[in-house]
Structure 1
Amino acid sequence: MTPVLERHEIEAFLAVAEELHFRRATERLGLAQGRVSQIVGRLERRLGVPLFTRTSRKVILTPAGQQLYDGLAPAHQQIQEAVGKALAVGKGVTGTLRVGFSSAWASDAVLRTAESFRRTHPGCLVEIQEVPLCDTFGPLRAGELDLQLTEFPMEEPDLVAGPVIFSEPRALMVPADHPFARQESVCQEDLAHAPLIAVTGDSPAYWTDYIWPRKTPQGRPIPQGPAFRYWMEVPSLVASGQGVSIASLRAARYYARPSLTYVPLRDAPPLDYGLMWRCDGYTARVRKFGETLCRITPGHAAEDHDPA
């Protein structure tokens, strides 16, 4: 008689098959440490075949495990979508959700979330647009956006600061021939020795000063270089030697040029990227999208190489 798989066994197996990492699968499902390994182990004993090959460095599917995954994954997705459709109708997750982002890496997270969100809430249209750094809270406040993933801090009385989704180390974007480019890292006091290219516009001073400070921690003034309104202006301004600018260290992967170098800013606090929405705009759509984003965004827990 063919064994009947319980729901928790199916979810645990699929999570490990997709993550190929027991700890990440456990975190993804929100279970206690070691729980997924126990569930999969019992399932293998009950089926009488190994589903995974485990070593100290990696986890891979066995041929039987691959066959089981190929059969279960599409069916499980269909079930999830059917449940999502029913819940969307019952809970009102329909209409249009407008989501903003301020950086390429935030865009990646939003796009991944939108893809998952559309599968479980097909009655809700998700529109995505970039938030200008020169007016980082303007589109949200004006009702042009319902939700956004942008840099903190946020201290606006009519807006709500949601959870931090990820944090990024800071770097200093400098011309490739700048003296700073030859250093392994720089400190905040070094900012007193180069014009800083910073944003201008309608964003509040506390926000712009937190990212592009006007003084060092010791109170030394930081020379001000040309101002920009949109981020895509910054690499060209820096590459042409008109100054340096603060950036996420991850920006080096998105805006690499031979004429630019990204030097870690070793003593500066990280840049936190979080969700925010209007005080009167916490709809079912906003709540469900935020929950989906928190659930699928990698990096909430430290990565490691222990597959068990």
Structure 2
Amino acid sequence: MLERIELEAFLILAEELHFGRTAERLHVTTGRISQTIRKLERRVGGPLFERNSRKVTLTALGEHLRDDLRPAYDQIAAGLAQAVETTRGVRIKGVVRVGFSGAWCGNLLVKAADLFRVRHPDSVVEIQEIQLLDPLGRMRAGEVDLQLTEFPIVEPDIVQGPLMFAEPRGLLVPAGHPFAAKDSVSMEDLADTTLVTIASEHIPEYWMDYYFPRRTPSGRPIPQGPATRFWPEVLVHVSMGVGVSTVAMRAQDFHSRPGLAFVPLHDAPPIDYGFLWPRTGLNPVASTYLDIVHELATPIR
């Protein structure tokens, strides 16, 4: 029989494909995760993961084991949650509408929604992508109850909740750009290239300054390139050699393609992600869903 640490370490690593993030979610050391996975591999008699210096992937055996274990694990978790609700006399009903920016944010919301629906079958979760063109418009129009997005957001009618997680910041550059050959670049290097930005009257100026600065930390001007309205436009401009763009390094897991390279910014602060909600407050359904996202999210590094 599997020990709990073996089960959770395997399933979380199968999801994250990253030993460090798995260790953080389980609040143990990376060495403990490695030791646990090796022990499990000895037990099943074969490798569950392929590891190298760049990435971790599931083997065919690992995929089969994940697909066998995941439903049972979720069912156990849901059963415990239902038991707690029965004891407390709680039954959540209603609809929660959730927005996101960034595919990794969307993945977390969908995963939380799956668990939420198991625990609260009388409730509905509606998830929608929020476009860069108008990042706060749907919330202000009452079309979303919660939104997982990049901070900072400092607005009088919107609550910026606690941080959920943080991602290292980098540059998206053309594959043939001199920066692509470097292990990392500096914020000062932005003065030596052209920055592809975003154009929208609905984006707060302080947010633009944070993600698309006009000057380096030492005060050197950063050449401003095309102002786009949608993320696919950024990818096109960069791949065609028009300029570079700031980006979360996690984006390389979702947007890698020929003609693009992702380079870490070694002196830039990470990109913080958290929830927003109207200052008028959260309904009970949204609050319960938010608790589940907290349960599943990778802790802040």
Q: Supply the distance in 2 between the matched residues of 1:78 and 1:238 (Cα, whole angstroms).
A: 44
Tell me which residue corresponds to 1:231: 231
The Cα shift of 1:79 comes to 2.7
The Cα shift of 1:104 comes to 0.8
Tell me which residue corresponds to 2:113: 114
Q: Mean Cα displacement is larger for which, 112-121 or 79-88?
A: 79-88
Judged with a 3 Å threshold, the aligned counterparts in structure 2 of structure 1 residues 87 and 208 are, in CA distance, closer, same or farther, namely farther
Give CA deviations for 1:210-265 in whole Å, capped at 9, x if unaligned. 01111111111111111111112111111111111001111112111120111111
The structure with more radius of gyration:
1
1:58 to 9, 31, 38: 38
Tell me which residue corresponds to 1:285: 285
Judged with a 3 Å threshold, the aligned counterparts in structure 2 of structure 1 residues 249 and 146 are, in CA distance, closer, same or farther, namely same
The Cα shift of 1:29 comes to 8.3
Judged with a 3 Å threshold, the aligned counterparts in structure 2 of structure 1 residues 277 and 219 are, in CA distance, closer, same or farther, namely same
TM-score (norm 2): 0.76
Give CA deviations for 1:8-36 in whole Å, capped at 9, x if unaligned. xxxx9546523359xx9998689xx89xx
TM-score (norm 1): 0.75
Which letter does structure 1 place at the counterpart of 2:146? L
1:242 equivalenced with 2:242 (yes/no): yes
Which letter does structure 1 place at the counterpart of 2:109? V
Q: What is the correspondence of 1:156-305 to structure 2 with a 5 Å cutoff?
A: 156-201=155-200, 202-297=202-297, 299-300=298-299
Is the CA contact (8 Å cut-off) linking 1:15 and 1:28 kept in structure 2?
no
Tell me which residue corresponds to 1:51: none
The Cα shift of 1:59 comes to 4.1
Judged with a 3 Å threshold, the aligned counterparts in structure 2 of structure 1 residues 149 and 73 are, in CA distance, closer, same or farther, namely closer
Is the CA contact (8 Å cut-off) linking 2:5 and 2:36 kept in structure 1?
no
Q: Unaligned 5+ residue runs, structure 2? A: 13-20, 45-64
Q: Unaligned 5+ residue runs, structure 1? A: 1-11, 38-53, 303-308
Q: Supply the distance in 2 between the matched residues of 1:143 and 1:73 (Cα, whole angstroms).
A: 36
Judged with a 3 Å threshold, the aligned counterparts in structure 2 of structure 1 residues 238 and 80 are, in CA distance, closer, same or farther, namely same
Q: Supply the distance in 1 between the matched residues of 2:40 and 2:207 (Cα, whole angstroms).
A: 46
Is the CA contact (8 Å cut-off) linking 2:174 and 2:260 kept in structure 1?
yes
Judged with a 3 Å threshold, the aligned counterparts in structure 2 of structure 1 residues 174 and 123 are, in CA distance, closer, same or farther, namely same
How many equivalent pairs are there? Answer: 264
Tell me which residue corresponds to 1:100: 99
The percent identity for this pair of structures is: 41
Judged with a 3 Å threshold, the aligned counterparts in structure 2 of structure 1 residues 87 and 214 are, in CA distance, closer, same or farther, namely farther
Give CA deviations for 1:67-116 in whole Å, capped at 9, x if unaligned. xx99x85873563364477589x556322111111001111111111111
Q: Supply the distance in 1 between the matched residues of 2:173 and 2:153 (Cα, whole angstroms).
A: 28
Judged with a 3 Å threshold, the aligned counterparts in structure 2 of structure 1 residues 58 and 176 are, in CA distance, closer, same or farther, namely same
Judged with a 3 Å threshold, the aligned counterparts in structure 2 of structure 1 residues 225 and 100 are, in CA distance, closer, same or farther, namely same
Which letter does structure 2 place at the counterpart of 1:115? D
Q: Supply the distance in 1 between the matched residues of 2:159 and 2:109 (Cα, whole angstroms).
A: 18
Tell me which residue corresponds to 2:136: 137
What is the CA RMSD across the aligned residues, in angstroms?
3.4
Judged with a 3 Å threshold, the aligned counterparts in structure 2 of structure 1 residues 291 and 16 are, in CA distance, closer, same or farther, namely farther
Is the CA contact (8 Å cut-off) linking 2:9 and 2:26 kept in structure 1?
no
Judged with a 3 Å threshold, the aligned counterparts in structure 2 of structure 1 residues 206 and 301 are, in CA distance, closer, same or farther, namely closer
